[in-house]
Amino acid sequence: MGLVSGFGLKQGALGTTVAHDSHNMIIIGTNDEDMLVAAKELKRIGGGYVAVARGRVAARLRLPIAGLMSNRKAETVVSDLNRLLAKARIWGSRLANPFIALSFLALPVIPELKLTDRGLVDVGKFKLVNFFCTE
């Protein structure tokens, strides 16, 4: 668990299972309830991308092949992705594709701080960081 900035969300939650290198679920949001709904929806659909607001799934892109790939037509995948990106923009995202940024928050081989299944990691120092304590 950690805090992130720069996404600009004013409401809702965004989640994905495309999270390099381990491809665990990663979710950002403005409230715990929407983040929980996002986690449950990602599990239900077998992985992918989701956008949730006010406790409801507003858009999703199913990626049932290891939570990374789709077996559907490219046009369908693009349509679902565009719907997700539109929701993120409406909800305040300043990023062209916040899902790409999310996928690299968990990549522990590039600096600075990264979220991993072991916790928050300072990649430059190769050590776990206590989220509630500063040095």
The domain limits of the chain are 13-107
* pTM of the shown model: 0.84
**Mean pLDDT per segment of 10 residues, for the chain of length 135 residues?**
80 92 86 97 96 98 93 96 97 93 77 68 75 59
Omega before 112 cis (within 30°)?
A: yes
Would you state the pLDDT for residue 12? 97
SS3 readout for the chain: CCCCCCCCCCCCEEEECCCCCCCCCEEEECCHHHHHHHHHHHHHHCCEEEEEECCEEEEEEECCECCCECCCCHHHHHHHHHHHHHHHHHCCCCCCCHHHHHHHHCCCCCCCEEEECCEEEECCCCEECCCCCCC
